[in-house]
Structure 1
């Protein structure tokens, strides 16, 4: 079987750019760069004031973080993994498993290495360290993975709508973590960037792309 490979240079450049962003954000908070510290502090202060003024603020964002958090996706993905194995699409099942479940390991390792404290003003209890946001990373990878594998099953007229809803969900999760003061904005940006890099790495290593990933239809040379 053969497949259409992604454009290697643009993908590699985008992954490098994402990792450079993570490194820059990491370096910025370690050395207390004003360009990192000030936006972080202002966003957290604004969210804290909103929570103090509105009783619905914390339940809204905490509920969103819980209902569509990465832990939920890592449980739900068991269903498509089993279905793909039953369809003898082992490569697709492996892609789903490694990308979505592996994102948790990536988050844990980087959090341990960075060891950034969570904001002292956190509005809900959150364990672990702060950088990067595991919610931002995990949800981006989960949504991105499922869209890569299954978006072609959606009618063309609805495909753009589903993609936009997926993007909005990823953004909303990131906003929620800052709104709850459990993450700095720089943690969320790092989570998105690292999640994108991980997803692209899994996609390239899987050796399959888009429709070929699901249907087993490939184009190109066997060489």
Structure 2
């Protein structure tokens, strides 16, 4: 079961790499279907912002509260707690997968160097591709799940997973709604966030699988 779970995880990571590459090549080459998707979603977000009072404020606040920066601040406390409890592997995993995802994001942004949409409704630093919010939320919430999910009562686990999915999806929607990212930026961010998480697991050997699901780091100590 463990080998099957690991194989599925790596197949999905490979698929995500292909998606990331497709998003990058697609916007550089101007693939018509991708241009249409990017343009139409930006126009929809802009129109809704013009028509509905509070649209921009809502999404700006939402994407700030659930931003990678906010998650990284919370993670600092979790890292300190892990070190205090002498769960060194857990602490290192969180440092690499959560905190260092910011460095990965900036490197990828510099490589792609895609300008932000001209219709952006709020200020945003750096370049557009990939979405740092999308990448950061995926990597962080998957890291949290790998470390802590098995410590929660089984009856609550599906609800926490659902909440995490909602956060990831809505933050991605919000970045497009605010016109600070193209849809392809967000999809690429989601894809690379998963790939980075899987690579972190490989490097740190931080997750053990039992019955086909991730177990908490250091849970055997």
Calculate the TM-score normalised by the size of structure 1: 0.92
Secondary structure of 1:106's partner?
Answer: helix
d(CA) in 2 for partners of 1:112, 1:216: 41
Secondary structure of 2:38's partner?
Answer: helix
* C-alpha distance after superposition, 1:43-64 (max 9, x if no partner): 0001100000011100000001
Structure 2: gaps of 5 or more residues: 208-213
CA distance 1:74–1:60, change in 2 (3 Å): same
Aligned residue number for residue 129 of structure 1: 127
Aligned residue number for residue 170 of structure 1: 168
CA contact (8 A) 1:6 1:204 kept: no
Within the candidate set 112, 123, 127, 1:114 is matched to 112
Aligned residue number for residue 58 of structure 1: 56
CA distance 1:77–1:59, change in 2 (3 Å): same
CA contact (8 A) 1:114 1:131 kept: yes
d(CA) in 1 for partners of 2:177, 2:67: 15
CA contact (8 A) 1:136 1:188 kept: yes
Aligned residue number for residue 82 of structure 1: 80
RMSD between superposed Cα atoms in Å: 1.4
d(CA) in 2 for partners of 1:193, 1:53: 32
* C-alpha distance after superposition, 1:81-133 (max 9, x if no partner): 11111111101110011000121111100100000011000000111100000
Secondary structure of 2:156's partner?
Answer: helix
Calculate the TM-score normalised by the size of structure 2: 0.93
Paired positions, count: 214
CA distance 1:35–1:137, change in 2 (3 Å): same
Deviates more, 1:208-217 or 1:32-41: 208-217
Shift of 1:142: 1.0
Shift of 1:12: 2.3
* C-alpha distance after superposition, 1:144-197 (max 9, x if no partner): 111111011211111100110011001010000000000000000000000000
| Runs of 4+ displaced beyond 2 Å | 4-12
Aligned residue number for residue 147 of structure 2: 149
Within the candidate set 32, 35, 51, 2:33 is matched to 35
Deviates more, 1:134-143 or 1:4-13: 4-13
CA distance 1:31–1:111, change in 2 (3 Å): same
Aligned residue number for residue 211 of structure 2: none
